[in-house]
Structure 1
């Protein structure tokens, strides 16, 4: 348990990855603090805490900062183990499901959503996402690809329908798990943005019923805090992460090494710090910021690059 420190989520309500974490809060009945950030940069009160990492969401517990939903979910499961996100002992497969839902399924969903919205997408959002991606955010190409994106979305949703074909309530069986939350994100994103969501699910009755069950989980007990207040919480706290090395690290990294950590796909902004803890699944680095003070920033290993600081 985080003890006396609030569980703070830096997010915006339209963020699909944030919706995953909000559902985890709901499933575990967690009281949490919402810090609403802008959909686009700048985010002057958040960047001192993350060291430049700008993907959404970010979770904060005091001066420990958790980046990426993989990392956030692991910490929430550790702090709030009941009910578990991994009933039936399927933790490995449940965690690995994010490589499907967050990458190929989500990329398909993004193209379908923004291709359908077309000229309704603000130019400021397009420019921000081009900086985030390091590539053109080509709305015209997405619009032209809508027929193919609908085909692929149908295939992804069809896998969910197939998994539910034996009458089970949840993708892993009779208990809700992280697999449900991971997959649901993409349906939520389409439903939140496109009036054709029902049309796209018309042939999938089991998915429609499952979608309603996931939605009913809710978001837990939410209160609000400003970005400035969250920054003050970090500045007035000390990181609680204990040093822990990894004797099996394939590259011989050790506690105290100065490294850069960055995503391997988009938002490739390096965050620099000294290793505090290291494992096959996560890395935490200590850094000092003139505004935020001393913080420890946590990242997953899958989907992230760790390189010696040059």
Structure 2
């Protein structure tokens, strides 16, 4: 890779997205200074459209004119030596940042780190957690927000998508309740009662799944009283493995009533919920202590990092005047790769790229710059190169060559993950 010490680092996110927090935490713990461009929790997002990006999830990280999608890929890039050199050059001072947080390659610790990432980003744990969001939360009562999340979580035929990457939302719940609400609004009392009963059953199932995840941490990884997932003294601080593991638990324990014995109206359900089913600091003291310890660590790290704020116009101007982090010839299109052979893809081909799970209606198009086993890269008409992981994304020849897709009519309400 070729890099410049002047390359800007800009994070597009909104503060209460749990996926975005993964990146904010990482930047803080590494001591990497950055700019943030705050986005609305719903579409449209003209700030990203300025860059020729239709992708509807949050966060998005730009390092110069290279733009990275999906926290799995973003974290992997931030761990790399060349990106580390580029982003730390712009930090306040050499003493303000730490080396990469990941475990050494080929070790048992690296395997555990990867498995924890799978648990929290490639299973339905987050979707189960989202099902526990109280509908009394202000955003959950916003019809526009509910429609936005339904469009995000559900396919056009109404079937729920299975997640494989960032769920963007995080703040705002699964589409199941939205679909039920819309049906109930049609009017019949019987249908409404049936929908409420189904919602209660889904919440009970979600609570069971979430409790199993708490059990896993409490009685295996944290059972010996360790401060961090990979061990080490409390003052050593968290590692990438902690970031991979903690974010859904940090999110759930931070929202009032999300895990308590209350229904969506705030009424107690203790008579129908056994003590063994409850999720609390009393039931899972090690998990709650770990989350609190992690929060204290990232809170202290915040004081050592510069995080300026820019508007969407300023962000676009800064990025488009900067250089690329990764040289085009080093990214490369592997024309022997099975997908490249099947679709006749080569450098310069116009392609369409979209997530295979949530937010699949929002598709990006551009000129293919890179295609390998782990990553696809395309350049938009705006002049930025967008990087996405291969896992969880689909790549096809574009139907209309040379035209970067814009959100279709009625699809201008985006959400993030």
Tell me whether 1:39 sits opposite 2:41 in the alignment. yes
* Matching residue of 1:184: 246
The alpha carbon displacement at 1:196 in A equals: 5.0
Greater Cα offset, 194-203 or 63-72: 194-203
Q: 2:133 aligns with which of 113, 125, 143?
A: 113
What pairs up with 1:265-284 in 2 under 5 angstroms? 265-268=357-360, 269-284=362-377
Q: Contact 1:64–1:296 at 8 Å: present in 2 too?
A: yes
Q: 2:378 aligns with which of 285, 291, 309?
A: 285
* Residues 151 and 134 of structure 1, relative CA distance in 2, 3 Å threshold: closer
Query: How large is the Cα RMSD of the aligned pairs?
Result: 2.5
CA distance in 1: counterparts of 2:143 and 2:369, whole angstroms: 41
* Matching residue of 1:170: 228
* Residues 120 and 106 of structure 1, relative CA distance in 2, 3 Å threshold: closer
Q: 2:146 aligns with which of 116, 120, 126?
A: 126
* Residues 84 and 73 of structure 1, relative CA distance in 2, 3 Å threshold: same
* Matching residue of 2:353: 261
Greater Cα offset, 138-147 or 208-217: 138-147
TM-score calculated relative to the size of structure 1:
0.88
* Matching residue of 1:97: 116
Q: Contact 1:281–1:302 at 8 Å: present in 2 too?
A: yes
Residues paired across the two proteins, number:
306
Residue 129 of structure 1 aligns to a residue whose secondary structure is helix
* Residues 119 and 87 of structure 1, relative CA distance in 2, 3 Å threshold: closer
Tell me whether 1:309 sits opposite 2:329 in the alignment. no
CA distance in 2: counterparts of 1:92 and 1:27, whole angstroms: 21
The alpha carbon displacement at 1:152 in A equals: 1.0
* Residues 165 and 10 of structure 1, relative CA distance in 2, 3 Å threshold: same
Residue 378 of structure 2 aligns to a residue whose secondary structure is strand
CA distance in 2: counterparts of 1:126 and 1:273, whole angstroms: 31
Tell me whether 1:209 sits opposite 2:289 in the alignment. yes
CA distance in 1: counterparts of 2:309 and 2:125, whole angstroms: 31
* Matching residue of 1:152: 209
More strand by share: 1
Q: Contact 1:9–1:58 at 8 Å: present in 2 too?
A: yes
CA displacement, residues 113-171 of structure 1 (integer Å, 9 cap, x when unaligned): 25574995311111111222334623255454222211111101111112111233222
* Residues 257 and 134 of structure 1, relative CA distance in 2, 3 Å threshold: same
* Matching residue of 1:200: 279
Greater Cα offset, 293-302 or 83-92: 83-92
Residue 12 of structure 2 aligns to a residue whose secondary structure is strand
* Matching residue of 2:75: 73
Q: Contact 1:238–1:295 at 8 Å: present in 2 too?
A: no
